[in-house]
Amino acid sequence: MGIEGPSGSVTKGRRRVSEVDPVGAGDGPGTVETPGSVVEVRTSASASLIPTIRAVASDLAARADFDLDAISDLRMAVDEACATLVDVAAPGSALRCTFDVREELIRVHAEVDTGDAATPVSTDTFGWRVLQTLADQVELEANGSGIVGIRLHKRADAAPR
Amino acid sequence: MSALSFPASRGPSRPGGLDTGLTRPVPGVLLLVVEGEVDTLTAPALGEALGALLEADPADAVAAVDLAGVGFLASSGLAVLIRAAHRAEAQGRALYLLGGSRAVTRPLEVTGSDQLFTLLPGLDELLARVDGDRPTGRVRRPD
Rg for chain B, CA atoms, rounded: 14
Domain count, chain B: 1
Classify residue B72 as exposed, middle or buried by CB count within 10 Å of its CB (0-12, 13-18, 19+).
Answer: buried
CATH code: domain of residue A76: 3.30.565.10
| Residue B5 within any structural domain of the chain | no
Pairing of strands B95-98, B62-73: parallel
Of B41, B79, B107, which is closest to A76 when you measure between CB atoms? B107
pLDDT cut 70: percent of chain A above it:
76
CA–CA min distance B83, chain A (Å): 12
Q: B13-44 pLDDT, tens per residue?
A: 455 689 999 999 999 999 999 999 999 999 99
Of A51, A131, A161, which is closest to B109 when you measure between CB atoms? A161
Q: How confident is the model at residue B4 (pLDDT cuts 50, 70, 90)?
A: very low
| Residue A19 within any structural domain of the chain | no
Classify residue A26 as exposed, middle or buried by CB count within 10 Å of its CB (0-12, 13-18, 19+).
Answer: exposed
Q: Is B29 left (phi over 0), alpha (psi -120 to 50) or beta?
A: beta
Beta strands in A7-114 (DSSP E): 10-14, 37-44, 94-102, 105-113
> Rounded distance, CA A102 to CA B108, Å?
28
| Residue A124 within any structural domain of the chain | yes
Q: Does B14 touch chain A (CB under 8 A)?
A: no
Asked if pLDDT for residue B9 goes beyond 60, the answer is no
Asked if pLDDT for residue A78 goes beyond 50, the answer is yes
Are A80 and B75 an interchain contact pair (Cβ–Cβ within 8 Å)? yes
Asked if pLDDT for residue A110 goes beyond 70, the answer is yes
| Residue A33 within any structural domain of the chain | no
Query: What is the structure's pLDDT at A30?
Result: 43
Query: What is the structure's pLDDT at A34?
Result: 54
Q: Which has the higher per-residue pLDDT, A113 or A3?
A: A113
Domain count, chain A: 1
Asked if pLDDT for residue B3 goes beyond 50, the answer is no
Query: What is the structure's pLDDT at B1?
Result: 41
Query: What is the structure's pLDDT at A9?
Result: 42
Query: What is the structure's pLDDT at B116?
Result: 95
Residue in A closest to B111 by C-alpha: A130
From A27-36, A73-82, A117-126, B52-61, the region with the lowest mean pLDDT: A27-36
Per the CB < 8 A criterion, the answer to whether B61 and B96 are in contact is: no
Are A126 and B107 an interchain contact pair (Cβ–Cβ within 8 Å)? no
Asked if pLDDT for residue A15 goes beyond 60, the answer is no
pLDDT cut 90: percent of chain A above it:
67
> Rounded distance, CA A112 to CA B9, Å?
31
CATH code: domain of residue B107: 3.30.750.24
Q: Does B44 touch chain A (CB under 8 A)?
A: no
Supply the range of the domain harboring residue B63: 35-120
* β-bridge mates for residue B118, sequence order: B96
Asked if pLDDT for residue A1 goes beyond 90, the answer is no
| Residue B54 within any structural domain of the chain | yes
Q: Does B83 touch chain A (CB under 8 A)?
A: no
3-state secondary structure of B103: helix
Supply the range of the domain harboring residue A52: 38-155
Residues from chain A contacting residue B102 (CB–CB below 8 Å) = 68-69, 72
Per the CB < 8 A criterion, the answer to whether A6 and A49 are in contact is: no
CA–CA min distance A15, chain B (Å): 30
Query: What is the structure's pLDDT at A128?
Result: 96
Asked if pLDDT for residue B142 goes beyond 90, the answer is no
| Residue B135 within any structural domain of the chain | no
Of B37, B103, B111, which is closest to A51 when you measure between CB atoms? B37
Query: What is the structure's pLDDT at B12?
Result: 40
Q: Does B41 touch chain A (CB under 8 A)?
A: yes
Query: Residues 6 or more apart from B82 whose CB is under 8 A from it?
Result: B113, B116
Q: Does B114 touch chain A (CB under 8 A)?
A: no
